[in-house]
């Protein structure tokens, strides 16, 4: 029998491992890109591709039934994925991606890292 762990800050069940993995993966690729974009440096093609894959994976997890519960982690994943999608759409349309947006993605990434550390408990 599986026991739900509690997110003590929220008083709710910890999200499924797929959600945590998607958040972790999106955090890694978005942070790497945002470190360049926040300083108006060129984000490399490989970073854009990784960001697109991470965002797509996050959306797939969020679209499944496992993401129907509202936890802080799921809300953070939704927000980070949405901002990454906006950046990807801007890039595809050859629009400028303002450094302020990149900085916000970096902030969300730091929040994600903190959330992952608080949510994941050693087995």
pLDDT at 2: 31
pTM: 0.81
Read off the pLDDT of residues 57-112 as tens digits, 9 standing for 90 and up: 999 998 885 556 667 888 889 999 999 999 999 999 999 999 999 999 999 988 88
Reported as type and span, the H/E element at residue 70 is none
74, with CB counted inside 10 A (0-12, 13-18, 19+), is buried
């Amino acid at each position: 029998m599986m026991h739900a762990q509690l997110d003590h800050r929220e008083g709710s069940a910890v999200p499924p491992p797929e959600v945590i993995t998607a958040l972790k993966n999106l955090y890694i690729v978005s942070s790497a890109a945002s470190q360049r974009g926040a300083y108006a440096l060129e984000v490399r093609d490989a970073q854009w591709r990784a960001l697109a894959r991470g965002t797509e994976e996050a959306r797939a997890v969020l679209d499944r039934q496992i993401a129907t519960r509202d936890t802080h982690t799921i809300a953070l994943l939704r927000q980070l994925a949405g901002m990454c999608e906006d950046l990807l759409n801007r890039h595809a349309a050859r629009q400028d991606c303002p450094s302020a947006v990149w900085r916000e993605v970096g902030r969300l990434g730091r929040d994600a890292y903190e959330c992952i550390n608080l949510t994941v408990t050693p087995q």
